[in-house]
Amino acid sequence: MPKIKEERMEELPKLENTLVYTEFDDDNPAPKGRWNSEIFDKDLPIVLELACGKGEYSIGLAEIEPEKNYVGLDIKGNRMWVGATEALEKGLDNVRYLRCFIDHLDQFFGEDEVDEAWIVFSDPYLKKERKRLTHPKFLKHYRKVMKPGSVIHLKTDSDVLYEYTKEIIKQEQLELVDDEPNVHQNRPGDPKLSILTYYEQMHLEKGKTIKYLAFKI
Ligand SMILES: C[S@@+](CC[C@H](N)C(=O)[O-])C[C@H]1O[C@@H](n2cnc3c(N)ncnc32)[C@H](O)[C@@H]1O
């Protein structure tokens, strides 16, 4: 492992805005059901950034809508370290990061604890549909912790993931709230859709068109 990655992984659990678990016990209880009351100590709607990478959306959204609490989730700790340290430097007390597999969401959040979620530039997994974060298997995980009628936002460069997600929305009879096939051409200046992530910048440099969907779970 490169030295910088090793150092970040070692530092990550020590950052005061980041939760990393090897196991749950009395000294390190699961955060489930305690996010607002103990972790944020502020009773606000909870928004997840799923597959957050360097966590740019949690930071950007927290700056735009400070009246919500944000949790960025990813399994890659060295990327998360970047967002976590930036959020600390910016003094954002309504942003936390949680290193975990999204597949284990219900171990970390209680029923109806989550109000909204963003999925930004998650991998389209061209050959493995079951790994796509809008696969019905993942929607089941989201339903376990999100309030009924909560909105999920998807931003992607991938035509495959965009079309696939629209198909799943139809199949699962979900309410499509927004569908924008070309974000940067048609919604310039939209504050939330203008937040750029590491992967989005790479896709834009390659001339890719960015798409956006919002639907209710
Ligand atoms: C293409 S990157 C996008 C990162 C970031 N959202 C961005 O736009 O820069 C996809 C991220 O999804 C994470 N990921 C994929 N499947 C996951 C899962 N089941 N649980 C947790 N993280 C996952 C990967 O670790 C990776 O950081």
Atom of ligand 1 nearest to the CA of 123: 1
Statement: residue 22 has pLDDT above 90? no
pLDDT digits (tens, 9 = 90+) for 60-79: 999 999 999 999 999 999 99
Query: pLDDT at position 151, please?
Result: 98
pLDDT digits (tens, 9 = 90+) for 69-123: 999 999 999 999 999 999 999 999 999 999 999 999 999 999 999 999 999 999 9
Atom of ligand 1 nearest to the CA of 57: 6
* CA-nearest residue, atom 22 of ligand 1: 74
Tell which one of 123, 142, 208 to mutate to probe ligand 1, the residue whose CB is within 8 A of the most ligand atoms.
Answer: 123
Q: What is the mean pLDDT of residues 170-197?
A: 98
Q: What percent of the chain has pLDDT over 70?
A: 100
Q: Which listed residue (106, 115, 123, 179) is catalytic? A: 123
Strands (E), the chain: 18-20, 46-50, 69-74, 95-99, 114-120, 146-156, 175-180, 211-216
Q: For Cα atoms 88, 92, 77, give the angle at the middle one, nearest 5 degrees.
A: 50
Contact 16, 88 (CB under 8 A): yes
Mean pLDDT of the chain: 97
Contacts of 78 (CB under 8 A, 6+ apart): 4, 5, 8, 9, 12
Q: Does residue 52 line the site of ligand 1, with CB under 6 A? A: yes
Q: What is the mean pLDDT of residues 143-160?
A: 98
* CA-nearest residue, atom 11 of ligand 1: 51
Which residues span the domain enclosing 177?
Answer: 3-216
In degrees rounded to 5, what are phi and psi of residue 152?
-110, 130
Q: How many domains does the chain have?
A: 1
Query: pLDDT at position 1, please?
Result: 79
Higher pLDDT, 28 or 144: 144
Query: pLDDT at position 27, please?
Result: 84
Q: What is the mean pLDDT of residues 196-214?
A: 98
CATH code of 84's domain = 3.40.50.150
Statement: residue 2 has pLDDT above 90? no
Q: What is the mean pLDDT of residues 178-202?
A: 98
Q: Does residue 201 line the site of ligand 1, with CB under 6 A? A: no
pTM, 2 dp: 0.97
Q: Does residue 142 line the site of ligand 1, with CB under 6 A? A: no
* CA-nearest residue, atom 14 of ligand 1: 51
Atom of ligand 1 nearest to the CA of 199: 9
Query: pLDDT at position 17, please?
Result: 98
Residue 179 falls in the annotated catalytic set: no
Tell which one of 74, 78, 183 to mutate to probe ligand 1, the residue whose CB is within 8 A of the most ligand atoms.
Answer: 74
Q: Does residue 197 line the site of ligand 1, with CB under 6 A? A: yes
Query: pLDDT at position 54, please?
Result: 98
Contact 87, 120 (CB under 8 A): no
CA distances from 127 to 84, 142, 161, 163 (A): 32, 23, 12, 15
